[in-house]
Amino acid sequence: MYDVIVIGSGFGGAITGCRLAEKGLKVLILERGQWWDKNTYPRKPGDAWIWNNDNPEKMHGWLDMRRFPHMAVAQGAGVGGGSLIYANISCNAPQNAFNYGWPAAITYNGLLPYYDRVAKFMNVQKVPANQWNPRMKLMQEGATKAGFGDRFGQLELAVSFDPNLNYNFDNPPSETNSKEFTNAQGVKQGTCAHLGQCDIGCPVYAKNTLDKNYIPWAQKKGAEVRELSLVSNIEPIANGYKIYYSDLKAQSMDRTETATRVIVASGSLGSTELLLRCKNATKTLPNISGALGQGWSSNGDFLTPAFYFGRTINPDRGPTISTSINFLDGVQNGQKFWIEDGGIPNLFSGYYKDISARLAQDPNQHSLFEGLQAANIIQHLINLSTSLDLFKNIMPWFAQGVDASDAQLLLDQKGKLDMKWDITKSLPMFNEIASMHKKLSDATSGHPIPNPAWNNSHDLITPHPLGGCRMADSATDGVVNDKGEVFGYKNLFVADGAIIPHALGVNPSRTIGALAERIAELMQ
């Protein structure tokens, strides 16, 4: 029997698992995804891109994309959770995010030491002054020209930089610009070479991901990490809980383990889905609060790509995001949000290289292009697209904001996770962001590219799901207390984005990490 089983190895799971192992507890971390490294990161067609929740035995890839009516959610799957795929922004939530909706014991000032602990362990840094990329300069120019220069700032990133690197963004980046070093947890990494691949796995390990810090440290302190272990049920037993999981590697669906304490840290969707199943389907945890699934938020994510004729932006070079223009004080018609620069890994170049190589071997490889027979036409398109460099002139204006946080997660009749999302109350905030994106691109002679998914049906996609098992002072208002313990179930905890009671309006990982640090510290 373990002292603690942690379900999931993202910000909530890795951090609680690590700190509890440091306390000398016997910890097991069960993670549905695999360990990833530079030899396995997906790059080409046919690689393990997709986590398919309907068929995880066969498809347990990099990205879990869930589609609900008018809202899609992107999440990482792997040892390290969302840190593997994320854009490295590590920031505190604004102080005013704590003015409502939290248990009384959770305050901004009270969380500060935990925020600092996460920032230190993740070794956060800003892009050195000599390595600003064109997007950062465009952000600053847009802010200044639109009259918001004092709201522009650099963000802290969980990335390791070499301050002595002098990289010219007109040149393609090269891995040879990275310098190897050993981090504070004894793990080998490399410095950032501005390869622009943060979201698909950094080939030089410049990202300070959880599998490079908290997780190896947890292992050094005795924690066991089991990859490809998909948990399906939690059942109370005499001295704790029994966990049911599938071993996806061995294709064995009936594994169990027991522990005196369980920490559910499967992310906003994952933890809520698992607990909904335990409450309503297997009925092993029937007394979980009726607030389960309520108050879900997209964290107001919104993207407006803009085209810049004759101006080189190269969003496929440099860290994915590095700067913000901050309107979180509500100065824009009461709506709280911030604007960020966005980056896009140039997947097409990898695709083109792969397709070109395969075509060179066999020009008649029709199987590469289902339904298309003329390989020479495809080759021509590939040459054309590569030479045009589709990405060169696009600025992805990105943002997060404080939405109404009023969506609901639930199980449908087939037992699959579903969402009721209604944009009505959040629409003024999204419109304010869209209008600011236009203002900033107008000020810099950019041309916003119409987005039919937004213009026609207000369809959105978020990488920042929050809520579903929110913290509160009572079971009437939430699912867990300020220490992450589930109301009505002693020694059962939730510690991840699911417990955040409403939108933060900024990238949430450091807040999730700070709450996880606090939960682990206060756990008896």
Ligand X SMILES: Cc1cc2nc3c(=O)[nH]c(=O)nc-3n(C[C@H](O)[C@H](O)[C@H](O)COP(=O)(O)OP(=O)(O)OC[C@H]3O[C@@H](n4cnc5c(N)ncnc54)[C@H](O)[C@@H]3O)c2cc1C
Per CB under 6 A, residues contacting ligand X are 7-13, 30-33, 74-78, 81-82, 85-89, 199, 230-231, 265-268, 270, 274, 321, 463-464, 496-497, 507-509, 512
Nearer Cβ to ligand X (199/418): 199
- At residue 293, the 3 state secondary structure works out as coil
Q: How far is the CB of 324 from ligand X (least distance, A)?
A: 11
Other Cβ atoms less than 10 A from the Cβ of 487: the count is 19
CA distance 376 to 499: 53
CA distance 167 to 173: 8
CA distance 199 to 378: 27
CA distance 340 to 358: 38
Nearer Cβ to ligand X (32/194): 32
Nearer Cβ to ligand X (205/398): 398
Q: How far is the CB of 245 from ligand X (least distance, A)?
A: 7
Nearer Cβ to ligand X (123/444): 123
Contact 348/385 with Cβ under 8 angstroms?
yes
Q: How far is the CB of 396 from ligand X (least distance, A)?
A: 12
Nearer Cβ to ligand X (240/497): 497
Q: Which residue bears the tokens 């695709």?
A: 351
Q: How far is the CB of 420 from ligand X (least distance, A)?
A: 21
Backbone angles phi, psi at 256, to 5 degrees: -140, 155
What is the sign, positive or negative, of the torsion defined by CA atoms of 110, 116, 119, 120? Answer: negative
**Residue 498 carries which DSSP code?**
G
DSSP H/E element including 254: strand 252-264
Nearer Cβ to ligand X (229/444): 229
Nearer Cβ to ligand X (7/291): 7
CA distance 272 to 276: 6
Q: How far is the CB of 170 from ligand X (least distance, A)?
A: 26
Q: How far is the CB of 150 from ligand X (least distance, A)?
A: 24
CA distances from 142 to 100, 173, 199, 438, 439 (A): 33, 26, 25, 10, 8
Q: How far is the CB of 410 from ligand X (least distance, A)?
A: 17
